[in-house]
Structure 1
């Protein structure tokens, strides 16, 4: 082995290894890209408490099988035991709904509904049908269970066992009536009845049957015809008087992108239908309300919503460009005629959410352009809504506890105040609002994010996960119901995923650090209590290497913003050495933190690079999560703007502070990271000598609607944003060595994206690029052989172009390796 190390050193390929490396085999791509379960180990996941608090269940794979299995363990410790399939079938579902006193739980499992008594642990089966029942809830002041079947709402009474159908939704139009509709038809019918006794008798019989059917109909729910709409989210008011539901209307015809699958079991190419592209017509939503007592249906209107008719701020840029000359006719009539009608934006309703006493309800309403979220009180008797809170963002609404739907919301136990999260101050915090007075109160504040929030079962304490101590560090806190100081319960630096025991006296935690994968621990629900480890998941082979704990640093971007990053330094610093910048994917994701990264393969690759003398910088650029609203929306209308200059500023930091040669910096990343790599290689060729763009978006006009529309608006409404944000428009600037890798059955970023860019590079007569394709891979690679091939190419790209002997005096690029 010493001989092989000596040969690598003499070849200039292993510039720096730790002093203990001679006792260890060096990292290789083949080693770190193997199946994780086979050599790294599989961390416990999906941690859940048994309803009696005596057992912790979790997914695990210590036997290195093809997939994880369910295990159980007592909170006191011991040997984890695999749960048999028979035992799994008897366990309650982990999801479900509890009653207000936490004495019962209703849940759906395998398409049937069950009721669990939490004191006796007795399970009652509510349904046992071939048809699927879903969405169980406690109803009618918790005297009954409601659920949906076949698009209709049913209730079941535990006391009597009676099942009642509460709605009768029917697809298609209302059937046409047989009654005459015009004067001629009415005359002819009257004449026939006057002439023929047989017809008069049949008419009398028909009318008798109609009277009988109407009498029976009064005992059944009203037939509601949906036309081409569909219905979902059926909810019964606590007093049983109202049924609310969401009506959805799908676009009539929208073209869907097709992804061909070439490597199939059949031997024939098979087409995968995926999605529409950004700007396509979207589903329309309405909130319907069935007044059972009045046997009448309504569709809720939103005229009272403040700001519903306000147009997005970005449109002013286009309005100024398209401003028409002042008309010569200055009369009021002419001026009125030339003013376009105000267009109301479309919205999506969520809820209603009923108070504990069943007397009040609220809705969360979001505009479909995601620039507004309203919380409103709802009076179902009058269909009137009252504004309680409006969160507006010229960019888009999102953030921890807010998301793209109703977010983290609920009622306080007084049935008078609603709680919710908002980025009103620039960071996601917890608020309450009084439905009667409209008074709003912030329960938390500061330059940190409340990332998760839940009320204790006795409704007296908040439990929060927040990054209060450091943006890259998560801790678990408690706080009084009315707000106040946060009491920190966990103390060790790292990241935590916490599950409270049913009595809330014990915490089951998944805990990790930046160089130690997730393991299962337990501790008392007390500040600073000792954590006891319950699992050991990593293998001796993985533990034989001293994995780095990367430094979490920060630096100032050119606009003064603080940018956080992970820094991997080589064991032996080489003056004017090479460096690589890694760009994480997803855009809105955090990776410069102190816990185990979901990019664990890249983390291991960065250790390999550092062993070989590279300095590696992993940046949480603008658009990343964990840093508040301004960082989150820093990419609005210009992806490849601040998110790219943050990488360029990081490259400058490497040269100025960490002794890296500015002519020997590479960049790589996947998905959004691949997009940034392309933008860097095309628009910053003097900064990045080589780049590997993996599964990259090359033209945002070809990506999906849900993600892209929030950031760049619609391509036909904001063409400027798309033109400056899409790498394909800058391909002429390529100078360095570019490697592109893409899965051919990628249903997220379609293979078509990279094919279009390849054709553009061909037409531009660019030669210093290559494309590696992976015929069986979707967006997230699965096969170890694909990971290995991809990262061997990435390593060769950097070794060929960033080594000292590859750098020309004029900074021109070398070969990308010729794969």
Structure 2
């Protein structure tokens, strides 16, 4: 080794160590079991009588979270609930009657009614099977429920129990074919001709059979579901109809993920999802007509635009496109309280259309009331997914349906008068609405929105027909509210950018002060001053203002290098003023900033929280605007924070790993190094539900897949690439990076390395794996960005 090389290496090591000494944090500390940070409440719920708040917590350092309770009469005392107590607690659940005086619910196979005024529950019925989905019918004496894929009704007054449906799985028994073979028929006929006694006896048998059949009552109708599964069974308020979803899974080709470290010491295979485009599921909504004793399916063929082709077909002029009725997925039926109306939310399987239609229960025909078309894909808060209708229901006037729609570009709450088709927006503006529900007296709404700004969530009340929203929470950040059953109190799970979730209590009033009930941070966690990232926007190449979180080091340690973090999931928000689900990455960014790095975390195109156009900005080209937003973020740092153009790294997991690969393969002049974690490398190998929304199906739209998949651009790798992947990842399969590795080998690339984790699925769970992975990421950035 020459002296120059030796001193160069020595200088690099010393240089890195100087920066490593600037932080009280370390990768080992950050990535240890999260319990080191403290304990934070989750899964907030109330008891029936609004006297206590229950939540999951771990104050006593148990192996996992346990159930805890705070009684309102003594809010300073946090009680741990014993297992025996937990079985007897009556949590707020079930369905109210119209006056909110009674509530019906089930515990296993027992049907229970709860009297709100007396605070008493009474067992109404014990059934042989588990009971689900109990609710009051129109006259409120009869209660409908589901058990074993059939509908029942029970009268509180008389105690009469009726089974409304006769649904069985499998195929109907086949009747024996009376015809025998030609040979047997010939022998039987000859025998009867020759032997008169035998013929006489057979004639008597046939006569007796006809007499028995004439006397026998008509056999009860039975509906056999075949190879369909039964979901969403609903009894109409007049008990004349039962609707249910028929779901057929199909026979898609599952993929295999090998487990090399199974306890048996043998390699075992994990069966996982199929690939995009391989979706053979069938969904239909069926109606059980009780009076006519028959079942028929809802007819969706008359929906407007049911045969419309998507716009992207113009990119394939040489292909013949058949104009045919598209497959759809129907939600459950939504009945008005008086039973006069039924509504269905229908979604096309190609993701382009959502219809809200009135259902004629006597015929199964639909009348469209609202059609939302998006040439990208239908989504957004409250819009619903697969068989769910999202936010949907009826006002007490039995003529107004409420629902959410992105018709204006942001998800808002609407009313639709089903008698005349008129639609009214209850909320409007450049913000989104989350989880609206009606007050007990049905005079007001409760809802959460981002009206203050996309970086905050607050809880509001609003008149039932619309009007001024009254803000009920004021703490900056995210206010996840659980309203008590009597609506007098709010349990608020709140967090801020550098403050994990804590539980607060507040009276249901805008003027009331919120009282903090938990303080779960450990001493070790509090000993470090966690940064409050600066929220900024920068201008993208197309003029859009892109939101980001910025971590700026002290001038004395600034090294003029930058790291860009790319969040996963695509449709997820990470630029906000509450505690991030990426808390490990947040802590890592604090460490990087201590070491002199400038860190930026971008809500690129495709992220949640900014409306339809932001969400669909990646349609048919992942690695397009979502990647150019990262490039523009890097340019912003160079122009405004003195970052050296040759000292920019990028990293992220899942979707963030995909973007990292695209950055290293197609934007080599911008990014020197990147760490791609659990990355999608070829979108044709990912799942159907997520990918087909954005890129359609690979056999129909191959252009979208080829320009969106990193494996097609691997020849562009010039910088330094680290790939890390769990070998038992059943979401983004290990096969993804194996195929890409072979591609890099064939291309003769040698500036990459791979770290594999035999015990990890998509979301790592072992602290040792997290530590190893992030030590490698830090080493990558230190050795490649700081050496220049």
TM-score (ref. length: structure 1): 0.90
Task: Indicate the residue corresponding to 1:501 in structure 2.
Answer: 484
Task: Indicate the residue corresponding to 2:498 in structure 1.
Answer: 515
Q: CA RMSD in A?
A: 2.6
1:213 and 1:556, CA in 2 relative to 1: closer, same or farther beyond 3 A?
Answer: farther
Task: Indicate the residue corresponding to 1:167 in structure 2.
Answer: 165
Task: Indicate the residue corresponding to 2:59 in structure 1.
Answer: 62
Q: CA deviation at 1:540?
A: 0.9
Q: Output the CA distance in 1 between the equivalents of 2:396 and 2:639.
A: 57
Task: Indicate the residue corresponding to 1:147 in structure 2.
Answer: 145
Matched, 1:722 2:721: no
Q: CA deviation at 1:213?
A: 4.6
Task: Indicate the residue corresponding to 1:35 in structure 2.
Answer: 33
Deviations 1:125-178 (A, max 9, x none): 456567444333334643333333332222333333333222222333333345
Q: Output the CA distance in 2 between the equivalents of 1:691 and 1:749.
A: 19
Deviations 1:741-800 (A, max 9, x none): 111111100111111111111111111111111111111111111111111111111111
2:50–2:486 Cα contact (<8 Å) kept = yes
1:8–1:14 Cα contact (<8 Å) kept = no
SS at 2:379's partner residue? coil
Q: CA deviation at 1:302?
A: 1.6
1:475 and 1:14, CA in 2 relative to 1: closer, same or farther beyond 3 A?
Answer: farther
Q: CA deviation at 1:91?
A: 2.1
Q: CA deviation at 1:107?
A: 3.1
Q: Output the CA distance in 2 between the equivalents of 1:161 and 1:739.
A: 68
Q: CA deviation at 1:198?
A: 3.1
Q: Output the CA distance in 1 between the equivalents of 2:177 and 2:743.
A: 66
1:9 and 1:97, CA in 2 relative to 1: closer, same or farther beyond 3 A?
Answer: farther
Matched, 1:50 2:50: no
Task: Indicate the residue corresponding to 1:230 in structure 2.
Answer: 229
Task: Indicate the residue corresponding to 2:584 in structure 1.
Answer: 601
Q: Output the CA distance in 1 between the equivalents of 2:165 and 2:216.
A: 17
1:494–1:594 Cα contact (<8 Å) kept = yes
Task: Indicate the residue corresponding to 1:330 in structure 2.
Answer: none
- Count of aligned pairs: 770
Match 2:672 to one of 682, 689, 701: 689
1:98 and 1:623, CA in 2 relative to 1: closer, same or farther beyond 3 A?
Answer: same
2:112–2:124 Cα contact (<8 Å) kept = yes
Match 2:368 to one of 374, 387, 394: 387
SS at 2:644's partner residue? strand
1:16–1:572 Cα contact (<8 Å) kept = no
Task: Indicate the residue corresponding to 2:535 in structure 1.
Answer: 552
Q: Output the CA distance in 1 between the equivalents of 2:13 and 2:492.
A: 44
SS at 1:767's partner residue? coil
Q: Output the CA distance in 2 between the equivalents of 1:35 and 1:601.
A: 11
Q: CA deviation at 1:721?
A: 0.3
SS at 1:78's partner residue? coil
Q: Output the CA distance in 1 between the equivalents of 2:369 and 2:111.
A: 35
SS at 2:783's partner residue? helix
Task: Indicate the residue corresponding to 1:814 in structure 2.
Answer: none
Task: Indicate the residue corresponding to 1:400 in structure 2.
Answer: 381
Match 1:368 to one of 337, 349, 356: 349
SS at 1:315's partner residue? helix
Match 2:70 to one of 62, 68, 73: 73
Q: Output the CA distance in 2 between the equivalents of 1:266 and 1:502.
A: 50
Q: Output the CA distance in 2 between the equivalents of 1:421 and 1:172.
A: 37
Q: CA deviation at 1:341?
A: 5.5
1:115 and 1:540, CA in 2 relative to 1: closer, same or farther beyond 3 A?
Answer: same
Deviations 1:696-745 (A, max 9, x none): 11110000000000000000000000000001111111111111111111
Structure 2, unaligned runs of 5 or more: 1-10
Matched, 1:96 2:56: no
1:201 and 1:754, CA in 2 relative to 1: closer, same or farther beyond 3 A?
Answer: same
1:181 and 1:758, CA in 2 relative to 1: closer, same or farther beyond 3 A?
Answer: same
Q: Output the CA distance in 2 between the equivalents of 1:401 and 1:231.
A: 24
SS at 2:617's partner residue? coil
2:135–2:144 Cα contact (<8 Å) kept = yes
1:241–1:291 Cα contact (<8 Å) kept = yes
Task: Indicate the residue corresponding to 1:813 in structure 2.
Answer: none
SS at 2:555's partner residue? coil
Q: CA deviation at 1:97?
A: 2.8
Structure 1, unaligned runs of 5 or more: 1-6, 324-339, 808-819
TM-score (ref. length: structure 2): 0.93
Matched, 1:483 2:486: no
Task: Indicate the residue corresponding to 1:202 in structure 2.
Answer: 205
Q: Output the CA distance in 1 between the equivalents of 2:198 and 2:356.
A: 65
The residue correspondences of 1:618-767 to structure 2 (distance < 5 A) are: 618-767=601-750
1:110 and 1:762, CA in 2 relative to 1: closer, same or farther beyond 3 A?
Answer: farther
Matched, 1:313 2:311: yes
Deviations 1:174-224 (A, max 9, x none): 333458589x999979x8999744334433443454455534x4xx5x211
Match 1:354 to one of 330, 335, 340: 335
Q: Output the CA distance in 2 between the equivalents of 1:200 and 1:123.
A: 64
